[in-house]
């Protein structure tokens, strides 16, 4: 069923060079990170673990288990998160000591793959904005749960709460750009068309589900690494591989309940668990009220079950608000102890969806994006460019005593100019176009005087490039934009 053009006017995103081979089918037990002692050498590595699909018991409200994986050179937390069905928020909060874009080789990454189900009917789709996660209960399969990370509306463009249904679906949707978003971009010198057809520049991705709430959608994305963040204009986004599964399940007519539950409890055997998330900004003023309700609920549970609750542990979990279910009865293990005993997963040959950077040759157009004295900062910017939507292929190159970030290849000058414009809009960095002969290895000059003059000019430009980049980069790093300076380029 096709959506009317105006019904697709609520959203926008950004894309990436992506490996679209099918994601691995995965299933297991429990997890860890840099904070924990190393696992015993005798503990075998597991090949896989349950991620998006879980067996569901009607008497239990918690599924999954923790796990850990050792990072390798070139890995990023967003790539690891996508592979294992986690959002950017989940993996970065669970691993606060690890740099998201440049984790050190050998860093132990905790995979928070255990989830407490929200307090809502197990019917259709439940979207918990506080945890940025979807819970899908398929009809006539009461023993099965699908759960996916989601991206949601940013402050002042909040995803609405309430109950609705999916009223229509469409493949390869056209995005009708809302007038408010067009004005927003025009003011920044980045005008948008009235309509964006299906393709790599379409922020809706390849699949869209229309909600009964006017102008709100659940859809895919051309920027998968925004999943797990508040960056949209209200719509709900899923990884492309997750929305495709949902799209094929005849979702029209399916009930959708959107809630905000930052604090959730569940029993697992005879142990009580608490999962805590920081309330979204819209509900920040209600935080003390939400905590008070939780404490009262826990006191009732304690009296009813005749169990003793470790209130200091409850307070620590509420303070950390890391979204990891943890036991809260007295004498129960702390999270570091749990994590230290979780299984380690084998590192796959490649993570699903990891951007692939093509080789750059002397016949290609390219862009000198920035130059750094610091290798790590150059690697971070290159990784962020590779994860833009659509991706801007980039790599770190050591040259002239610094680390340059070179983007490309681009098929022609126009494509390079468009990429430079996107970098300007998203990162506020001024790039320098490199013609094919500049990308190629420099040839010796037959005019010594002119060569020295050119070298001096080139060195001065290079120095200014480093200085300007580092000034701008410090500003970018102080923002809340993990994928770029401008994250408002969203649906």
The Cα–Cα gap between 399 and 378 comes to: 12
Tokens of 163: 């109950």
How many Å is the maximal CA-CA distance in the chain? 90
The Cα–Cα gap between 426 and 18 comes to: 20
Helix axes 375-386, 448-477, angle to 10 degrees: 70
* DSSP one-letter code for 151: B
**Nearby residues of 440 by Cβ (< 8 Å), 6 or more positions away:** 361, 362, 363
257-273 burial string, b = 16+ CB within 10 Å, else e?
bbbbbbbbbbeeeeebb
Q: In sequence order, which ranges of 53-137 are alpha helices (DSSP H)?
A: 77-83, 88-94
**DSSP, residue by residue, 304-347:** HHT--B-HHHHHHHHHH-BS--EE-BTTPPPHHHHHHTSPBBPP
CA atoms 434, 437, 441, 446: torsion sign: negative
Question: Would you give the end-to-end CA distance of the chain in angstroms?
Answer: 21
Q: In sequence order, which ranges of 333-435 are alpha helices (DSSP H)?
A: 335-340, 375-386, 413-427
Report helix, strand and coil shares of the chain as percent, to nearest 5: 30, 25, 50
Residue from 221, 230, 258 nearest 388 by CA: 221
> Residue 301 burial by CB count (10 A; 0-12/13-18/19+): exposed, middle or buried?
middle
CB 127 within 8 A of CB 217: no
The Cα–Cα gap between 72 and 104 comes to: 7
Q: Is 11 a known active-site residue?
A: no
Task: List the catalytic residue out of 207, 219, 233, 277.
Answer: 219
> Residue 132 burial by CB count (10 A; 0-12/13-18/19+): exposed, middle or buried?
buried
Task: List the catalytic residue out of 11, 235, 260, 277.
Answer: 235
Q: Is 219 a known active-site residue?
A: yes
The Cα–Cα gap between 395 and 378 comes to: 8
Residue 372 DSSP SS3:
strand
Provide the β-strand partners of residue 108.
70
Catalytic residues: 219, 235
């Amino acid at each position: 069923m096709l959506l009317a053009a105006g019904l697709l006017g609520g959203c926008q995103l950004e894309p990436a060079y992506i490996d679209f081979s099918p994601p691995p089918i995965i299933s297991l037990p429990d997890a860890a990170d840099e904070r924990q002692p190393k696992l015993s050498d005798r503990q075998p590595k597991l090949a896989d673990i349950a991620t998006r699909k879980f067996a569901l018991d009607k008497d239990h409200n918690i599924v999954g288990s923790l796990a850990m994986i050792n990072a390798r050179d070139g890995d990023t937390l967003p790539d690891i998160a996508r592979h294992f069905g986690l959002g950017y928020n989940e993996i970065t909060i669970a691993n606060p000591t690890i740099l998201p874009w440049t984790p050190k080789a050998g860093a132990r990454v905790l995979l928070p793959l255990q989830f407490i189900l929200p307090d809502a009917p197990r019917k259709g789709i439940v979207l918990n904005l506080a945890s940025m996660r979807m819970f899908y209960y398929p009809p006539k399969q009461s023993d099965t749960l699908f759960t996916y990370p989601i991206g949601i509306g940013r402050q002042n463009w909040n995803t609405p709460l309430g109950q609705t249904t999916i009223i229509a679906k469409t493949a390869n949707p056209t995005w009708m750009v809302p007038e408010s978003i067009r004005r927003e971009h025009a003011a920044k010198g980045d005008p948008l068309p009235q309509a964006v057809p299906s393709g790599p520049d379409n922020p809706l991705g390849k699949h869209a589900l229309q909600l009964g709430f006017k102008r709100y959608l659940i859809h895919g994305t051309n920027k998968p690494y925004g999943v797990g963040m508040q960056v949209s204009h209200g719509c709900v986004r899923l990884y492309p591989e997750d929305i495709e599964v949902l799209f094929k399940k005849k979702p029209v007519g399916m009930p959708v309940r959107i809630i905000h539950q930052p604090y959730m409890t569940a029993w697992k055997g005879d142990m009580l668990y608490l999962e805590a998330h920081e309330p979204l900004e819209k509900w920040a003023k209600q935080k003390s009220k939400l905590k008070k309700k939780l404490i009262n609920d826990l006191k009732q549970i304690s009296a009813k079950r005749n169990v003793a609750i470790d209130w200091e542990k409850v307070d620590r979990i509420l303070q950390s608000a890391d979204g990891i279910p943890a036991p809260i009865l007295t004498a129960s293990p702390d999270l570091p102890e749990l994590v230290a005993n979780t299984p380690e997963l084998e590192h796959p040959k490649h993570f699903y969806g990891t951007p692939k950077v093509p080789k750059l040759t002397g016949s290609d157009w390219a862009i000198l994006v920035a130059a750094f004295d610091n290798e790590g900062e150059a690697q971070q910017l290159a990784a962020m460019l590779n994860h833009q939507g659509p991706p801007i292929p980039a790599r770190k190159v050591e040259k002239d005593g610094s680390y340059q970030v070179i983007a490309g290849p681009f098929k022609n000058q126009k494509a390079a100019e468009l990429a430079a414009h996107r970098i300007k809009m998203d990162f506020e960095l001024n790039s320098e176009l490199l013609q094919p002969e500049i990308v190629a290895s420099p040839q010796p000059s037959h005019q010594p005087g002119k060569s020295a003059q050119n070298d001096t000019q080139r060195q001065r430009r290079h120095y200014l490039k480093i200085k300007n980049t580092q000034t701008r980069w410090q500003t970018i790093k102080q923002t809340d934009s993990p994928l770029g300076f401008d994250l408002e380029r969203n649906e």
